[in-house]
Structure 1
Amino acid sequence: MMNEYDKFERLVQKLDPGNKLIRAWKLKGGISAQVTGLEILQPSGRIIKMIVRQHGDNDLKRNPNIAADEHKLLGILKAAGLPVPMPYYIEESCEIFSKPCILIEFIGGKSEFTPSNLNDHILQLAINLAKIHRVDCANLSLSFLPKLENTYVEMLNNKNKVVLDETLNLSLIRDLLKSSFPLPSMNKEVILHGDYWPGNILWKEDKLVSIIDWEDSGLGDPLADLANSQLEISYHFGMQAMDHFTNQYKSMMPEVNFTNLPFWQLFAALRLSTFPEWGLEKSKENSWRKRHKSFVRQAINQIRLN
């Protein structure tokens, strides 16, 4: 029976039979995937690093083709000039590992939660979200991507899945959304990251170098991504930073109709409300809860004004 090292060596040799594995090490990959770094000696004598991504059971249950889909999407995004890891190989036979996995480029960088220049940091986040939404989908074969609107509908209808925290008025939010859905279509469908937040962005020397973890991606209204990012940015950097991010994004995307943004903000508030699961320090959790309530209040006020 092969040990872990042998399995990874066999994987890199599927890419090139002359490859030799020098070392393998576990990387922090969140809860959704198992991520392993590999250092490889190529036949040319060059030493390079790669990453293996093995998706978690929940993601595989939701989409058994998730590895193939992420591999395909990364190729499309890389060709469009986005800062994403290059996909090298997909292992779907399950001969080596019990689950499919993808072999992708290793990009040296780290998530940044205390940037030295917050305004520039926020600007780069906005620029790159706009870049994702500007990928021209007209001639791309994207039928493998789910419609993210369907995911949101499931979230509204599945009472058991979302434990509704009434201190955050989640029942009110859900009922308001159910009575308003489906929203009138005002924007063209774009590629969505699905989870564009500071933890999925890598930085090096204050420059955004990679957007990672595309397992929640799909097609839909750009406002769905924007609203998620707004709430995440308010959590990590404050409401002022969130407003700066929104203004920057709006200035870059004049073709987007923002009328329905408050509704997508309420979806984001419903989705990003499981504070007990995040293991936050009590003071941080209290601060984020306040920002969540303020975010929801603004969205509801805006809906009433419209």
Structure 2
Amino acid sequence: MDEKWTRLVQNINPSAKLLRAWELKGGISAQVTALEMETLEGMKKKVVVREHGQADLKRNPQIASDEFKLLQILKSAGLPTPTPYHLEASSDLFPTPCLVIEFIEGRTVTAPADLSSFLQQVATVLTRIHSVDASGLAQTYLPKQEEAITEKLHKRPAILDKSLDEGFIREVLESVWPLPQANAVSLLHGDFWPGNTMWKEEKLVAVIDWEDAAIGDPLSDLGNARLEILWAFGVEAMHVFTLHYQSASKTLDYTQLPYWDLCAALRPASSLSDWGLEKRVEETMRERHSLFVMQACEKLGIPYKRHATYESLE
């Protein structure tokens, strides 16, 4: 068994011993390892170790400590998130800091037994995230989402992804950016999609992977979630999810949602082909992406010449 895990357990709890360590699959931006330890009293406990990848570290060298602080805030706010246990500084064992958090007994769900309940729970937890008091977060390390999008729009790549209408989407957003502030800034998950939710007995038990957290218009998270739910479950599911969210967040101004939808649609440009998807899955996602862009343009009254012909989202 790797010595670094034994020593890490001792740093977490000097009286505990390591029973086993195993890699958790599915991590992209971070290397994720599960540890099981046992205390002198015979109590067994599982934890998760997150070692952030170079892309995240380049963007924010303090990402481990920042995520640790954020998880403390989220837990104190009563959100279903992993409890942060330990922050391990860089050393001879760990070249960069790593984060030790609660092991959530649950799984991600790709085919819910009750899709209606699934969508309602996902919408409800997103509204709860956006309801966290953001007044104290504005001065923290959390990036401002609007500034990140501004930078992305200014850094136009030399080769645009025509298959996902990247040039068209950029032109629409560039013509209106920055958007006038219609809603008070809120805490954003930054990458809210079903794959970042954990479930047990058909109940949502945790929202995970907070390394992309930011502050900004809550419609940013909503737009991203809408596209992801469209990809995963189809048009009707996207509409149902949106209605659940809107019914729980009646005070928000949704006028600019089509623009935030387009921001979400810009994210997979030039990268979707690298996601290692099955051919048919990728084709379906591309079809639904085009529909997503089209419905946003229809709501904005902007002509959209699709690169393929699909049914309307309405």
Question: TM-score scaled by structure 2?
Answer: 0.92
Task: Flag the 1:149–1:36 CA change in 2: closer, same or farther, 3 A.
Answer: same
Hey, what's the Cα distance between the residues in 2 that align with 1:267 and 1:137?
22
Task: Kindly indicate whether residue 214 of structure 2 is the aligned counterpart of residue 218 of structure 1.
Answer: yes
1:44 CA displacement = 2.3
Deviation, structure 1 residue 159: 2.3
The equivalent of 1:144 in structure 2 is 141
Q: Percent identity?
A: 49
Matched, 1:262 2:258: yes
Structure 1: runs of 5 or more not aligned: none
Root mean square deviation of aligned Cα: 1.5
Which among 195, 202, 210 is matched to residue 199 of structure 1? 195
> Counterparts in 2 of 1:19-168, with a 5 A limit?
19-139=16-136, 143-160=140-157, 164-168=160-164
Secondary structure at the aligned position of 1:268 is classed as helix
Distance 2:283 2:134 in 1: 41
User: What does 1:220-239 correspond to in 2, within 5 Å?
Assistant: 220-239=216-235
Q: CA deviation at 1:12?
A: 1.8
In the alignment of these two chains, the number of paired residues is: 301
Q: Structure 1: how far apart are the matches of 2:184 and 2:192?
A: 19
Q: Per-residue CA shift, 1:230-267, capped at 9, x if unaligned?
A: 00000000011000000000000012111111111001
Q: CA deviation at 1:139?
A: 4.5
- Which residue does 2:169 correspond to in 1? 173
Match of 1:295?
A: 292
Cα separation, 2, equivalents of 1:240 and 1:164: 30
SS at match of 1:296: helix
Choose which of 2, 6, 10 in structure 1 pairs with 2:7. 10
Which deviates further from its counterpart, 272-281 or 173-182?
272-281
Give the Cα separation in 1 of the matches to 2:171 and 2:236.
Answer: 29
**1:190 matched to which residue of 2?**
186
Q: CA deviation at 1:217?
A: 0.6
In the alignment, the residues of structure 2 paired with residue 101 and residue 223 of structure 1 have an alpha-carbon distance, to the nearest angstrom, of 31
CA drift of 1:9 comes to 1.5
Hey, what's the Cα distance between the residues in 1 that align with 2:258 and 2:227? 12
* Partner SS state of residue 180, structure 1: coil
Aligned to 2:276: 279
Q: Quick one: distance in 2 between partners of 1:83 and 1:92?
A: 26
Aligned equivalents of 1:148, 1:89: Cα separation in 2: 28
Instruction: After superposition, give the CA deviation of every residue in 1:50-83 in whole Å (9 maximum; x if it has no partner).
Output: 0000000000000001001110001100111111
State the SS of the aligned residue for 1:181. Answer: coil
Letter of the 1:240 partner, please give it. Answer: E
Deviates more, 1:89-98 or 1:196-205: 89-98
Whole-angstrom CA distance in 2 between matches of 1:209 and 1:301:
37
Partner deviation per Cα, 1:130-189 (whole Å, 9 max, x = no partner) = 01000122355751111121221122122238x532132210110111111000001111
Q: Matched residues in 1 for 2:272 and 2:232: separation? A: 14
Select between 143-152 and 174-183 the one with higher mean Cα deviation: 143-152
In the alignment, the residues of structure 2 paired with residue 141 and residue 296 of structure 1 have an alpha-carbon distance, to the nearest angstrom, of 31
Measure, in 2, the Cα distance between the counterparts of 1:56 and 1:140.
25
Compare the two structures and name the one with the higher helix fraction. 1
Indicate the SS of the match to 2:33: strand
Between 1:164-173 and 1:123-132, the stretch displaced more is 164-173
Equivalent pair of 2:188/2:214 in contact (CA under 8 Å):
yes
Task: Could you list the structure 1 runs, at least 4 aligned residues long, displaced by more than 4 angstroms after superposition.
Answer: 139-142
CA distance in 2, matches of 1:15, 1:280: 38
Report how far residue 107 of structure 1 moved: 0.6
CA distance in 2, matches of 1:142, 1:237: 37
SS of the equivalent of 2:32 reads strand
The answer to whether the 8 A contact 2:138-2:215 is kept is no
TM score, norm. by length of structure 1: 0.95
SS of 1:99's equivalent in the other structure is coil
2:90, 2:98 within 8 Å by CA — same for their partners in 1?
no
